[in-house]
Amino acid sequence: MLGVRDLRRVAWRRLSAPQHYIGYVTITDDVIRLSGREEPTGIDVALSIPCAAVRHTHIGTLPEEQLAGESTLVLDVADGVPIVVRPIGIGELQLESLARKLRAVVVTPPGDRVRSRSARPQPALKGRASA
């Protein structure tokens, strides 16, 4: 696959859905593709999300954002139903790694950015008019 930035094994679900899927996330420059199987029923699903449709991401620590009691990466998508994703692997390092990969392809509008506590405001450039 040309243009694949990352491919890894994950568990994922829509935040509003009780069932989760075990499968893969494929990240390209344009699309985040989730595929998986719901083990109890054997149902296979695939979901392709344009990167531009993801408003922002954050680490989900609230009980409803967790999968099997573990933190997830929450994708806040344009249709309003977030998706939670948890890498299958050991430790929080896998989660942070996935978060970095997704943030590299998600284009967040300036008004929707979540500023980290350590972020400092950028000084205005002299000589340029502001709108």
- Give residue 102's pLDDT: 83
The answer to whether the predicted template modeling score (pTM) of the entire model surpasses 0.75 is no
- Give residue 82's pLDDT: 95
- Give residue 109's pLDDT: 54
Six-digit token string for 22: 């075990």
Q: Does any domain span residue 121?
A: no
Q: Does any domain span residue 116?
A: no
Please give the helix or strand (H or E) that residue 43 lies within, else none: strand 43-50
Q: Which residues of 92-120 are buried (b: 16+ CB within 10 A; e: fewer)?
A: eebbeebbebbeebbeeeeeeeeeeeeee
- Cα distances (angstroms) measured from residue 60 to each of 70, 89, 101: 9, 17, 16
Please tell me the number of Cα atoms within 13 Å of 46 on its side-chain side.
Answer: 4
Q: Does any domain span residue 75?
A: yes
Q: CATH no. for residue 55?
A: 2.30.29.30
Q: Does any domain span residue 124?
A: no
- Give residue 129's pLDDT: 43
- Give residue 54's pLDDT: 93
Q: Does any domain span residue 119?
A: no
Q: Does any domain span residue 57?
A: yes
* Residues 57-89: tens digit of each pLDDT: 999 989 999 998 889 999 999 888 999 999 987
Using an 8 Å Cβ cutoff, are 98 and 73 in contact? Answer: yes
Domain count, the chain: 1
pLDDT lower than 70: segments of the chain: 1-2, 90-91, 107-131
Domain assignment of residue 97, given as a range: 4-109
- Give residue 108's pLDDT: 58
Q: Does any domain span residue 90?
A: yes
- Give residue 128's pLDDT: 40
- Give residue 50's pLDDT: 94
In whole angstroms, what is the distance from residue 103 CA to residue 51 CA? 10
Q: Does any domain span residue 131?
A: no
